[in-house]
A and B are shown apart, each in its own frame.
Chain A
């Protein structure tokens, strides 16, 4: 099997991740649900994961790292905390449904600016004008469909300058690009654990610049006499039993990423992107590529007259895993002009070799012709 779908879920993980999940399953109970050894061991692992995430994402206080089920859950907490009905919320043209659906459900008035693909300067110009009407901004750091790297540092600076709070969706950036809470000064940054951070599915992180409002209410293992959630982070936003096995795996993934360095991982994926562009360049496929430095290890493409889902099915039959369709981001497709067809998306990981990629692309070229 050749796996080219890491933007959905990184399938190959470091061995340390598998080992950590197994160890947690065998020896860890729930933090805050007992004073015995198994509960304390779990508590230590969970706190160590908060510390590791705080170090990687430049968060000064580990208690501002909140565990979630995924990035969608984290975004829902962030948006529920900040958005009121009728509030004008500025977003980029490349947001995922994990942003747009909660905004619709919360009754926000959505303003979209920055639709031109791989054009950060245009986006900044449009955001500068649009921020004047906005009460909140939400922006992805990297498009999940096109790998378009949005200029998040400059977006954050604009938001600070205009006094508009910012929520960052770092789903495709975490583990691949620097995500620095202290530099961005965001209200919240949301991310999954199972993509670039190489943790298990069912893990996510919300980095909190603000206190936030709980999305779920329930047991927290603290202040149990009260019928309100504990006032202090992270327990304020973490109701119910934690995914300790997942968090143990995420800790191992975070340690791997910190050990390798995001610059190293990004450079590897850039090499793969360049190889893919070169191999597919003369194939008749329409490739969605940006200038240097504007695209992560994600490449969308389409063949004229060939249904992307059909092509993905042919590839699946031949052992190549890709994703096709709208990728839960119709707004991004609308912005790029691919809403009617969708795209076939290839996405890379630190564990994908150039040789494997070449083989997978060879199969793709054959499948497109057959």
Chain B
């Protein structure tokens, strides 16, 4: 990992209106609030992922954008026009469904051509478009097969071709890779990203897999319990998590709870059971707030005597390195990486330290 750069040009505001905008979007099913009044904006020609655990509201949000669910309150705009009252059939938005939802009674070619029937196109024009879409996903040879005769990866490609052939303003992808095995998933990640660049189309991709989100996205929206916890470039989300929840969910950072004693411009001082630390901090913290010190495993250094005392509880060999799990005196669990020096013995007391300027102070949030 390269060290964090202090500036972040990616997130700079653009003058043009966003492609898709949500204002106070709210969804409730009976007493259950699936999405709690969120705001978001998605730029044209970008790959955006909605990341969160199952039940966080990300799929509900996607279905509202796709037109499969009504919005309880709030507003979604596409190209500056509200989508309210516009059914899924009328929206210039297409979806790649989880498990693909390919029509089992139609061939690959008929599946891909399905949406073209609603446009004024000649037979030859339809055939040309279908051939182009199939070659885009390298499925020309399978055109006459039925979906059942295809592997998971092949079905995935057909589902993509069936959606992009309609040239939607936004392509929605609902956990599109979850049914594939690990290897296939990696390959499809590369293909998806590549496809998005070639088409210059906006992809909005729902996933619970942070690795997938990092591999694909220009921008990540992290959701939890119906709210947006943070949105930004992948590197920012990883290095500067806004809340304890994001720090934990993205890459499982170590969290040390404490209270802010002083807050300055982009830095703060936090008092924890292990001592007081001055670190870069998320904006908006004030003295007296509950907060967390977040430390990535690779940021912590190990020594025999100096530093925060901790007891080694577990060591795990991971090939190029060792993962060392320790426990502080107040019970907080901290894991770190030991490389060349080899792991300490289980049960030994060690000292933990981290370089000044490393670490990051995030808001407590509700944790998750």
A and B: partners?
A: no
Residues of A within 8 A of B (CB): none
Residues of B within 8 A of A (CB): none
